[in-house]
Chain A
Amino acid sequence: MQLDHRIPSGPLTEKWDRFRFETKLVNPANKRKFDIIVVGTGLAGASASATLGELGYNVKTFCIQDSPRRAHSIAAQGGINAAKNYPNDGDSIWRLFYDTVKGGDFRAREANVYRLAQISNQIIDQCVAQGVPFAREYGGLLTNRSFGGAQVSRTFYARGQTGQQLLLGAYSALMRQVKAGKVTLFPRSEMMDLVVIDGQARGIVTRNLITGAIESHTAHAVVLATGGYGNAYYLSTNAMASNVTATWRAYKRGACFANPCFVQIHPTCIPVHGTYQSKLTLMSESLRNDGRVWVPSKKGDQRRPAEIPESERDFYLEKKYPSFGNLVPRDVASRNAKEQCDAGKGVGETGLAVYLDFADAIKRLGEESIRRKYGNLFHMYEKITGQDPIKEPMTIYPAVHYTMGGLWVDYHLMSTVPGLYVLGEANFSDHGANRLGASALMQGLADGYFVLPATIGAHFATATLPKIDTNHVAFTEAKKTVHERIQTLLSINGKRTADDFHRELGHLLWDHCGMARNEAGLKKALHNLPELKKKFWSDLKVTGSGAELNQTLERAGRVADFIEFAEIMILDALAREESCGCHFREESQTEEHEAKRQDDTFSHVSAWQYQGEGQTPLLHKEPLVFDNVKLSQRSYK
């Protein structure tokens, strides 16, 4: 198989325009003859569904929650980037493009990232027109703040709940199309398989989570906007239902999985405090604008933070990276926190935490101003920990947050299965080996509002798509397989719960495929995985039946897929013998313990192709070509 990225020729700045001009269009009257399935209703899925409906396509939209408004984009706190340059501080489309490519440690495609930067400005216009209440100056114009990895202020925000406001905007546009009859909603439906007919994605099989019914849905194209796979680690900042099932099923039907080892560990999360813990909570990166990160200079210092004089505090980020200070990119901040804790300077009950201190900012700007900026984050922190960050520094520690890897897509956002498109966090395309803060919302909405609606027509205009119905053998076979799998899960009747296995998988991945990775550890994890899988399928306990609402069964199915998926994550981490962005291979580091890329050998996208049960997947490499930026070892010093 040859990976064809289908990037238009010509200068970088003209590619997107040229693409839109050269692409075949679908006549407005013909659009209603095409059905499109969209799975997922986060920023990417909701904005795509709404826009495709507005264009005249028939859209069927699926989500696992009770309402499309619940998708986990809603929890994004800090903001959304755009190259508006409203603050007049030197920003431009080119700078946003450059920062994103550099932030991703030169492992993303130039053409995709440039397009993203171009579209970023339209997104802000669109959201404001929908009534998204972004933060404003007293003169009434929009205001910005800065985020990690950038030296300009380009982040638009709505308090600490930007994701919520953007998602509610996209959701409202979606509901408008539901009312117009252009989008049909299928809430509480979980995609169980992708149906491929004559090499084209032509539908999905779902489980109705209320009745348990296994249902078939046909379409002329399928769009996955199902988010990332961070929950493979059990503990992450993802929502409880976030899972890899949809993309994993698509992988098993022929879609290549790209860069699965690229997992972002977010530096500012509330530390783990017990084995019963079900999730980790993020504290927005925007806090690093005013918070200073430190640990005691002395190992094992047990004093309370207030008792440690300034001279005995180690502001390690400010010291080590004077030009970016506390605003270094996420991967750098996370690794440094781990380094401090590994050196015995960690704080808190477990010693796995560092301080994020607002005392100086409060002195400088006043308590009122700090509360206004971060009030809801402080409130959330206090709810969970019982401590007030105004009185005592926050304790934070890195946690799994976002996955840059995902299904491989070309410039059209189409996977290696024709007619299967992948948007948002579910694809791999724009963030390389590390995503910058406030770029996920930008990418989700760019894909959904602007990219997919412009590219999907090319497929309809050129592909041969004969009429099919749900009686097609591909549907009946997929349904049968889904049914049998559910019956197997229910019949094992062992002694351990799905969560218990999930925790075990999480430990395995966190220990050996987490913030720092090495060959021996990865090989050990790879060795232990089949045993875990075997135990799962022989000792799992699921109560209830398949013909009803059964959350225990839902969870078991997702954990089964996470266990299978973990293998390609580890294989990918093993194959990539360089360090880049979030992927830190201990064997490849500079003398100052920074990530050391190996551009000669690893300047490529790794795309894994399924080869059948029990077979090692096949690795394809898409070379990354940099014509417009000069590769350099990242430095934030």
Chain B
Amino acid sequence: MSLINLTLRIWRQSGPEAQGAFHTYESGPISTSMSFLEMLDVLNERLILSGEEAVAFDHDCREGICGMCGSVVNGKPHGPEQKTTLCQLHMRHFKDGDTLVIEPFRSRAFKLVKDLIVDRSAFDAIIAEGGYVSVNTGGTPDANTIPIPNPTAEQALDAAECIGCGACVAACPNASAMLFVGAKVSHLSLLPQGQPERNQRALAMVKKMDKLGFGNCGNEKRCEKACPKGISISNIARLNREFMKAVLFSNEK
């Protein structure tokens, strides 16, 4: 463990309509075994004691699974480490004297709330359109009734690992949510339980995604690179197939 000093340039904006700007702070001595968010905690403690408002940032589980945290660090959503959420990024990956530029996930569909916090409720709205199997509680068959080949279940889980953090949208030049939507559509269309609503799901979720102002996929693959869970871009290809099949061969509108 050693100590490093950093210069932090952090986006401060008091509300959605307010004018935002970068503010520069000296981090003070930071232990390299701290997590990135603990580094922000240390800064915030100092700001509060000096009477300045703390930097607002979303976070909760701090173990990389809730999907609540996320900021762009030096141009990269969740920072420089691959397959790592911001809360799991540790300061040992930075050097003494580094300057870190920290800003929110920017996208037309994610309205800024305050400082580093954005509104990602658009993701919930997309799920509400069909990101589920329509079964009520009770009356379901025994869990072993339908065998599912192990590789299929594993592939479905690869897609279902998405934590809904929004880094894919922030990374994409078109602010596309195709990786997020593709992951959910893939998860369910791979499984037998997802078959009955397969066409309707793809159509409804894509329609909602467009309506909310997310862009289309331009094959830049930056989403895949930014994804802390390593969700593969092949899920976007599957989403495109599902969507085309539904448009061309189903009766769903």
Contact = CB atoms under 8 A, between A and B. Distances in A.
A534 interface: no
B26 interface: no
B121 A67 contact: yes
A67 B123 contact: yes
Given A70-B68, A75-B61, A129 B142 contact: no
Contacts of B114: 548-549
B134 interface: yes
B38 A86 contact: no
A538 interface: no
A72 B124 contact: no
Given A125-B141, A133-B191, A66 B58 contact: yes
Interface in B120-147: 120-121, 123-124, 127-129, 131-138, 140-144, 147
Nearest to A499: B45
B157 A133 contact: yes
A338 to B, nearest CB: 23
Interface stretch (A196-204, A274-282, A578-586): A274-282
B12 to A, nearest CB: 13
Interface in A291-340: none
B36 to A, nearest CB: 11
Given A136-B148, A549-B113, A278 B35 contact: yes
B52 interface: yes
Contact of A551 (B54, B64, B153): B54
Interface in A43-68: 47, 50-51, 54, 65-68
Nearest to B57: A551
Contacts of B90: 383-384, 386
B38 A142 contact: no
Interface residues of A, number: 84
A273 B33 contact: yes
B53 A133 contact: no
B238 interface: no
A453 interface: yes
Most buried by B among A54, A70, A187, A241: A70
Contacts of A542: 48
B144 A380 contact: no
Given A74-B66, A75-B61, A175-B128, A449 B117 contact: no
Contacts of B56: 549, 551
Nearest to A279: B62
A579 B54 CA distance: 44
B60 interface: yes
A173 interface: yes
Contacts of A282: 63
A491 interface: no
Contact of B54 (A66, A277, A379, A552): A552
Contacts of B244: none
A142 B33 CA distance: 40
Given A124-B143, A161-B65, A175 B132 contact: yes
B97 interface: no
Interface string B204-221: 000000000000000000
A25 interface: no
A86 B188 CA distance: 25
Nearest to A50: B137
Contacts of A548: 14-15, 114
A165 B161 CA distance: 8
Contacts of B161: 161, 164
Contact of A129 (B42, B144, B193): B193
B114 to A, nearest CB: 5
Most buried by A among B49, B63, B163, B187: B63
B156 interface: yes
Interface string A476-500: 0000000000000000000101011
Contacts of A158: 157, 160
A86 B144 contact: yes
B191 to A, nearest CB: 5
A47 B31 CA distance: 41
Given A175-B128, A499-B45, A500-B45, A133 B68 contact: no
B65 A173 contact: no
Given A129-B135, A240-B59, 8 more contacts: A126-B140, A172-B127, A185-B124, A274-B33, A276-B31, A278-B62, A383-B84, A453-B137
27 contacts: A47-B137, A54-B136, A54-B137, A67-B123, A69-B67, A69-B164, A72-B66, A75-B63, A84-B143, A125-B140, A125-B141, A136-B153, A139-B147, A140-B147, A140-B148, A140-B149, A142-B144, A163-B65, A165-B160, A171-B127, A239-B61, A239-B62, A379-B83, A495-B49, A499-B45, A544-B54, A552-B48
The 7 A-B residue pairs with the shortest CB-CB distance in the complex, in nearest-first order: A140-B147, A172-B132, A129-B140, A133-B157, A128-B143, A179-B128, A51-B137
